[in-house]
């Protein structure tokens, strides 16, 4: 049985704080296990990027809303009891590793261990330039950041000498009760290899699988999953210990189709599945919650 997640409709709710709060409180009451939210530091026109990026243009515009995950999670932790929180994904190489480790530890302590840190290496050259970070070294820096943050979460004092980071006997207090799970998003070969070697989960939020036939989607996914598993085996890890989270949309899918897509992901080995109610023409909080409720009931009824 999949753990079910609710994707926060940031654009639809904007800065309506009661709606943001009541959506997550409502999702928890319905029975959802976790919430996810997208993240960018800057809103911008994604069709005009700095030349470093090789990605296809994204649909983002300056009007898109991006709340700050760690701040919002701290707020939501105070009004919920069970639901987990995950950014999907937070652009790790844009963040200072020790500060992010501190922020994540604080959220985890305040929430009673409910944070999953979803990270990515980013694609927007504009954001890297604005944050004075090197776009070209983002993957290597992210891997070192993961190592450093885990040590900060589990060791009272850390001695660390890396290529990009150095700590000479410093530590966090308070620390989380256990190391915070780190999931990574992305589809490139280096990302999949990194997930297999050092991450706790793989977050797939892209929806192009729904644009393929079930057979083609299965084949495409199986090939990439094997890359993750091969990387895990290469360092002596059990691939079955790596969680897999996917996402499906309300827009373009009937309730029956949503459940079918969920079953397809279940068959592929997913452990988590988030429902997106965004861009579906839903304008009221109650409409979003009703979509969450209908899917939750239909999935568990099957």
Look at residues 78, 129, 133 and name the one whose alpha carbon lies nearest to residue 100: 133
Judged by average pLDDT, the poorest of 95-99, 124-128, 130-134, 169-173 is: 124-128
State pTM to two decimals. Answer: 0.94
The per-residue pLDDT for range 81-119, each reduced to its tens digit, is 999 999 999 999 999 999 999 999 999 999 999 999 999
The per-residue pLDDT for range 265-285, each reduced to its tens digit, is 999 999 999 999 999 999 999
Give the domains, in start order, of the chain with CATH numbers: 3-301 (3.20.20.30)
The answer to whether residue 30 scores a pLDDT higher than 90 is: yes
The answer to whether residue 56 scores a pLDDT higher than 70 is: no
8-state DSSP, 93 = G
Q: Cβ atoms within 10 A of the Cβ of 131, count?
A: 15
The HSE-up count of residue 233 (CA atoms within 13 Å, CB side) is 6
Provide mean pLDDT across the span 174-194.
96
The per-residue pLDDT for range 57-87, each reduced to its tens digit, is 566 778 889 999 999 999 999 999 999 999 9
Q: Evaluate whether 61 touches 33 at the Cβ level (below 8 Å).
A: no
8-state DSSP, 269 = T
Across 145-170, b (16+ Cβ under 10 Å) vs e yields: bbebbebbbeeeebebeeeebebeee
| pLDDT given for residue 302 in this prediction | 78
Mean pLDDT across the chain: 93
8-state DSSP, 278 = T
Residues 6+ apart with CB under 8 A from 266: 1, 2, 273
Kindly compute the dihedral angle of the four CA atoms of residues 31, 82, 242, 167, in this order, to the nearest 10 degrees: 150
Judged by average pLDDT, the poorest of 50-54, 106-110, 125-129, 246-250 is: 50-54
The answer to whether residue 216 scores a pLDDT higher than 90 is: no
| pLDDT given for residue 63 in this prediction | 84
Outline where the chain has alpha helix (H).
Answer: 10-13, 17-30, 69-77, 97-111, 125-130, 138-154, 189-198, 214-234, 255-268, 285-301
The answer to whether residue 175 scores a pLDDT higher than 60 is: yes
- How far apart CA 122 and CA 186 sit, in angstroms, is 9
Look at residues 225, 245, 223 and name the one whose alpha carbon lies nearest to residue 233: 225
The HSE-up count of residue 28 (CA atoms within 13 Å, CB side) is 15
Query: For the residues of 148-173, what is the DSSP string, one character each?
Result: HHHHHHH-SSEEEE-SS-EEEEE--S
Residues above pLDDT 90, as percent of the chain: 85
Tokens coding 76: 């939501």
Instruction: Identify the sign of the CA torsion 9, 12, 14, 19.
Output: negative
- How far apart CA 202 and CA 184 sit, in angstroms, is 5
């Amino acid at each position: 049985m999949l753990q079910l997640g609710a994707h926060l409709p940031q654009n639809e709710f904007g800065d309506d704080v009661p709606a943001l709060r009541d959506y997550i409180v409502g999702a928890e009451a319905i029975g959802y296990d976790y919430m996810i939210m997208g993240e960018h530091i800057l809103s911008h026109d994604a069709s005009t990027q700095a030349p470093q990026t090789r990605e296809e243009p994204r649909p983002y515009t300056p009007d898109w809303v991006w709340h700050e995950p760690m701040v919002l999670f701290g707020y939501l932790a105070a009004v919920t009891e069970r639901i987990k929180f995950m950014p999907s994904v937070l652009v790790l190489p844009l963040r200072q590793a020790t500060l992010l480790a501190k922020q994540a530890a604080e959220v985890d302590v305040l929430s009673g261990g409910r944070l999953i840190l979803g990270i990515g290496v980013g694609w927007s050259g504009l954001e890297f330039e604005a944050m004075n970070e090197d776009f070209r070294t983002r993957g290597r820096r992210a891997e070192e950041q993961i190592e450093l943050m885990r040590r900060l979460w589990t060791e009272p004092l850390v001695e660390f000498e890396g290529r990009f980071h150095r700590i000479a006997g410093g530590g966090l207090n308070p620390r989380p009760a256990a190391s915070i799970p780190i999931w990574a998003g992305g589809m490139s070969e280096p990302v999949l290899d990194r997930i297999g070697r050092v991450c706790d989960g793989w977050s797939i939020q892209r929806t192009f699988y729904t644009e393929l036939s079930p057979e083609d989607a299965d084949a495409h996914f199986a090939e990439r999953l094997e890359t993750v598993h091969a990387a895990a085996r290469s360092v002596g890890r059990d691939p079955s210990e790596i969680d897999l989270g996917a996402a499906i949309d309300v827009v373009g899918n009937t309730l029956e189709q949503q459940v079918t897509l969920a079953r397809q992901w279940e068959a592929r080995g997913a452990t988590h599945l988030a429902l997106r109610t965004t861009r579906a023409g839903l304008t009221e909080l109650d409409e979003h919650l009703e979509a969450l409720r209908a899917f939750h009931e239909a999935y568990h009824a099957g």
